[in-house]
Structure 1
Amino acid sequence: MSTSNQTHDHNKIKAWAEERGGVPAKIKGTGKDEDEGVLRIHFPDKSSDDDNFEKIDWDDFFQNFDDNKLDFLYQDKKADGEESTFHKFVKRQ
């Protein structure tokens, strides 16, 4: 059985992403004015959809993450024990 975790700790999020080859990104065309757009952790080595993502730096990523009071919901391992890249952003409670 796989379990998920939830955090807003910047160091945990960055470490989780980088261990899996993930980079901070936004989905192109989703931002307005000062808004960065929809945040994602993008895994370039595991995706054929690179054209839809714009890499951003961690400072910009976490500024947007905190401004929107988000938490990071993530999974370390899949049910079969394989490393997981499952994640999503949820409103912080």
Structure 2
Amino acid sequence: MRNRRDNWPGVNQLSAPLVDQLVTDASDLEILVSRSANGSRIIDAGLKSLGSVKAGCRIAEICMADLGHATIIPSDGTDMNFRIVHVETEHPVLSCLGS
């Protein structure tokens, strides 16, 4: 019996367009993009670059292969006024493969 997910593209195929868009938006997201000696793309979202919360959410969605959404929400303020990363997915097993 075939699983109905057998025809799904792989997580790399699902996340590749998001990575390309992240690279396109690098300046707005305050991240740096470079290539290694072997041609691999390196995305710096906070080591040498400033990075941003928006970049972090986009990277979280890349890690979930575009099968989930990451947003920032305010905390309830009981302890400290931190922001919280809120993640939602309808496909928890598949979306967690890349994270």
TM-score range, shorter chain: under 0.3
- Structure with greater strand percent: 1
Q: Normalized against structure 1, the TM-score is what?
A: 0.26
Structure with bigger gyration radius: 2
Q: Normalized against structure 2, the TM-score is what?
A: 0.25
